[in-house]
Amino acid sequence: MRKNLYLALAIISAPLATLGQADCTGGRFSNYAFAPDVTRTQAITFGSNTAVSGGNQVLKLDVYEPTGDMGTGRPVVFVAFGGSFIGGTRNDGYVVDLCNRFARLGYVAVAMDYRVGFFFPINEVNTTLAVMRGMHDYRGAIRYMRKTAAEDGNPYRIDTERFYVGGVSAGAISAIHAAYLNQMSEIPSYMANDTAGLGGIEGNSGNLGYPSNVQGVWSMSGTIGDTSWIEVDDVPILSLHETGDNTVPIGTQEVAVSGFPTGLIASGSRDIHARADNQGVENCFREYNQNNHVGYLDYDYNSALGYVVSFLEDLACGQAIECGENTFVPGTGIAEHDLSGSMTLSPSVTNGNLTIDLSGAFAQWFEYDVIDAQGRILLSGQLTSARTNLDMSQLPAGVYMVRAQNASGRAVGRFVRE
């Protein structure tokens, strides 16, 4: 995203913000003790759009504020959940924890919905559409927060020129595209007709007329469709990523959705930051020498979050960005290797009985979920033997996904309920 593309809108929106930077002393932005308690306002409607499965989906967000803080001109940190664009919610535990931590530091934190659901077939076009939905909904939430400052008396006392977007996995992908994909000419040619029908670059998720530009990006295992979208004078970005991530690649290669190949080639954190360096865009990059997908949220959570917190503090306080050490090599973490080739579901089309066979990878136990086409978890349990028979007769007809995972990795498969 080129800053000058939003210059006119930024000028229009400038009176909406408290332009003086918030106080960067007393632990604000650097110490979780700044605000021991957090106030959470839940389920605020910010827009709506067409759901993955059709019909209208109302989009909501939660706002987290430091309790008792009367500061004005407070920066906003947006947090988007992960889930391969087929699952996840703004109420996921790690999202709630991240928002609470950001609010305790003195930010206003926002966790928003974006449209998810099982899309079939999983291919290049449908995967790109999923990313576009995430980007459009993210922009709708950004515009909504600016709208509250303009039309509602700025109830959250925010600085509309200090918006920082980020997230985990699919949430990070949505944030990156919301920040850097801003011209119709950048849309892949095979998506041109679909994009026009979805509302172009900005989308139809609400609050049109307000700017959707942001001032920084933080990404936990995200990717971008084309690194050329990052240009001179673009906003800074920080990324965390694992070297052997087989879900969202750290380099440029095919992206998978819950283990299924998509045909979509995208560029992960390593190549994003090579491009940013080439264009002179401020950026920070920490690479973990592990074969996981966001495994650092288990084995290095506090350090990883501290890396993000330092980056955001530098942005919020107008300081030079100091990234610290580029590469961190942790001890052994929880693996998320793709074990899908070791799982068989039979019969693939069933009127009730389903056998899950994990003989090729079984080791004591697996947790499993049965997920519908809207990304909802309908059944869950534990598999304690290599072959398990389950009764799916209570499910309505449709396409479902089984996800099985343990400390060794994760396997996914599909079946049809007649």
Sign of CA dihedral 213, 216, 220, 224: positive
Which pair of structure tokens corresponds to residue 234? 């673009």
Residue with tokens 């919301």: 178
Is the same domain home to 262 and 113?
yes
Q: Is residue 198 part of a domain?
A: yes
Which pair of structure tokens corresponds to residue 67? 């309790």
Q: Is residue 199 part of a domain?
A: yes
Q: How many domains does the chain have?
A: 2
Q: Among 284, 307, 328, identify where a domain stops.
A: 328
Is the same domain home to 259 and 384?
no
Q: Is residue 333 part of a domain?
A: no
Is the same domain home to 349 and 241?
no
Q: Is residue 334 part of a domain?
A: no
Q: What is the CATH number for 119?
A: 3.40.50.1820
pTM: 0.75
Mean pLDDT over 302-311 rounds to 92
Is the same domain home to 46 and 99?
yes
Is the same domain home to 405 and 284?
no
Note down the domain range covering 370.
Answer: 339-417
Most confident of 6-15, 144-153, 238-247: 144-153
Mean pLDDT over 314-326 rounds to 84
pLDDT band for position 274 (50/70/90)? very high
Q: Is residue 164 part of a domain?
A: yes
Q: Is residue 7 part of a domain?
A: yes
Is the same domain home to 293 and 393?
no
Is the same domain home to 214 and 354?
no
Q: Among 328, 348, 370, identify where a domain stops.
A: 328
* Cβ–Cβ < 8 Å for 313, 236: no
Is the same domain home to 122 and 195?
yes
pLDDT band for position 408 (50/70/90)? low
Is the same domain home to 271 and 389?
no
Q: Is residue 106 part of a domain?
A: yes
pLDDT band for position 10 (50/70/90)? very low
Q: What is residue 336's predicted lDDT score, i.e. its pLDDT?
A: 41
* Cβ–Cβ < 8 Å for 31, 173: no
pLDDT digits (tens, 9 = 90+) for 76-132: 999 999 999 999 999 999 999 999 999 999 999 999 999 999 888 888 888 999 999
Residue 216 DSSP SS3:
strand
Q: Among 328, 356, 381, identify where a domain stops.
A: 328
Measure the CA–CA gap between 398 and 402, rounded to whole angstroms.
Answer: 13
Is the same domain home to 250 and 398?
no
Q: What is the CATH number for 363?
A: 2.60.40.3080
Q: Is residue 395 part of a domain?
A: yes
Is the same domain home to 345 and 313?
no
pLDDT digits (tens, 9 = 90+) for 253-273: 988 777 778 888 999 999 999
Looking at the chain, how many residues does it have?
418
Q: What is residue 262's predicted lDDT score, i.e. its pLDDT?
A: 84
Is the same domain home to 161 and 308?
yes
